């Protein structure tokens, strides 16, 4: 297992003062910034693109920016995000005709690459790509919106993907996204996740440091 990472999803941040929000959440103990990109096509919502990623870098954000692409097609936007300062780029295999090619494209631009599996997407797609990627992101809600409830079957899927990763002998992060809270993160960690996205649970809390500390403590328990 790799060291625990807490990656607040800025989808639930106050976009009118995004730079300040990101500074505050990093000061409060967050490890990465989770950056949700939605295109009103692959998912029924529209958010932010490379310009905003670049603006965060220009603002002085040095923490890893974890770009979660919920867009179709994928390949066209990858170089722009790499130039804008993305550290890792994850994408949904349903949104790419040539999954292996997209992984190689992301890596060729100097970013880490990851595959995102929706709640109903089987894990088989990992069979021939696990040797090439840096991260698997399991969705524990249907993508498109923050603030949804964690889908319990994700726990079983985490256990399955954890054993696939362990069997591969490679250092691949296992990230979970959707409905993660201080109250359920312990159980999610026990199922095998090491990287935790949380949007509403962090940005809707009055004290970011307190909720992040409670999350880390629950993971370590
Ligand atoms: C959903 C996004 C998530 C979402 C998480 O499509 O990928 O990152 O913002 O939000 P919470 O933690 O509120 O479920
Ligand atoms: Zn996300």
How remote is the CA of residue 141 from the centroid of ligand 2, in Å?
10
Whether cis (ω within 30° of 0) applies to the bond prior to 73 is: yes
CA of 108 from ligand 1 middle (Å) equals 28
Share of the chain above pLDDT 70, in %: 100
pLDDT at 1: 77
Q: Which of 39, 66, 134, 177 is catalytic?
A: 177
Catalytic member of 36, 39, 66, 134:
36
**Known binder of ligand: residue 75?**
no
pLDDT at position 2 is 86
Q: What is the pLDDT of residues 119-147, one digit of tens each?
A: 999 999 999 999 999 999 999 999 999 99
Atom 6 of ligand 1 has which residue's CA nearest to it? Answer: 143
pLDDT, position 98: 98
Sorted by where each starts, the structural domains of the chain and their CATH numbers stand as 5-220 (3.20.20.70)
What pLDDT, on a 0 to 100 scale, did the predictor assign at position 159?
Answer: 98
- Considering the chain, what is the average pLDDT of its residues? 98
Query: Binding residue per annotation — 60?
Result: no
C-alpha 197 – ligand 2 centre gap (Å): 7
Is 108 annotated among the ligand-binding residues? no
CA distance 191 to 43: 27
What's residue 99's pLDDT? 98
Contacts 24+ apart (CB under 8 A), 211-217: 211/182, 212/6, 212/8, 212/25, 212/28, 212/29, 212/30, 213/29, 214/182, 215/6, 215/180, 215/182, 215/185, 216/4, 216/6, 216/29
| pLDDT of the residue at 142 | 98
ipTM > 0.95, yes or no: yes
Q: Is 221 labelled as part of a ligand binding site? A: no
Ligand 1 pocket test: pick from 5, 6, 10, 11 the residue with the most ligand atoms within 8 Å of its Cβ: 11
Active site residue 124: no
Residue list, ligand 1 pocket, CB within 6 Å: 9, 11-12, 34, 36, 68, 141, 143-144, 146-148, 177-180, 197-201
How sure is the predictor about 53, in pLDDT bands with cuts at 50, 70 and 90?
very high
| Residue with the two structure tokens 């009055």 | 206
pLDDT of residue 152: 98
Give the distance (Å) from ligand 1 centre to CA of residue 50: 19
**Does pTM top 0.95 for this prediction?**
yes
């Amino acid at each position: 297992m790799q060291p625990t990472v807490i990656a607040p999803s800025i989808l639930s941040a106050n976009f009118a003062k995004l730079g300040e929000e990101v500074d505050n959440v990093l000061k409060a103990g967050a490890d990465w910034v989770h950056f949700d990109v939605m295109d009103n096509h692959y998912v029924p919502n529209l958010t932010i693109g490379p310009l905003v990623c670049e603006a965060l870098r220009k603002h002085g954000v040095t923490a890893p920016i974890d770009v979660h692409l919920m867009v179709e097609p994928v390949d066209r936007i990858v170089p722009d995000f790499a130039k804008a300062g993305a550290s890792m780029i994850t994408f949904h295999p349903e949104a790419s005709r040539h999954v292996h090619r997209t992984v190689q494209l992301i890596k060729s631009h100097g970013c880490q690459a990851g595959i995102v599996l929706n709640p109903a997407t089987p894990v088989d797609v990992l069979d021939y790509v696990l040797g090439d990627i840096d991260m698997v992101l399991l969705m524990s809600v249907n993508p498109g919106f923050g603030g949804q409830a964690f889908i319990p079957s994700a726990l079983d899927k985490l256990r399955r993907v954890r054993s696939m990763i362990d069997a591969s002998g490679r250092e691949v992060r296992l990230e979970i996204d959707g409905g993660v809270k201080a109250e359920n993160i312990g159980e999610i960690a026990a199922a095998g996740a090491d990287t935790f996205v949380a949007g509403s649970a962090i940005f809707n809390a009055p004290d970011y440091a307190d909720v992040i500390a409670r999350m880390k403590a629950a993971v370590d328990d």
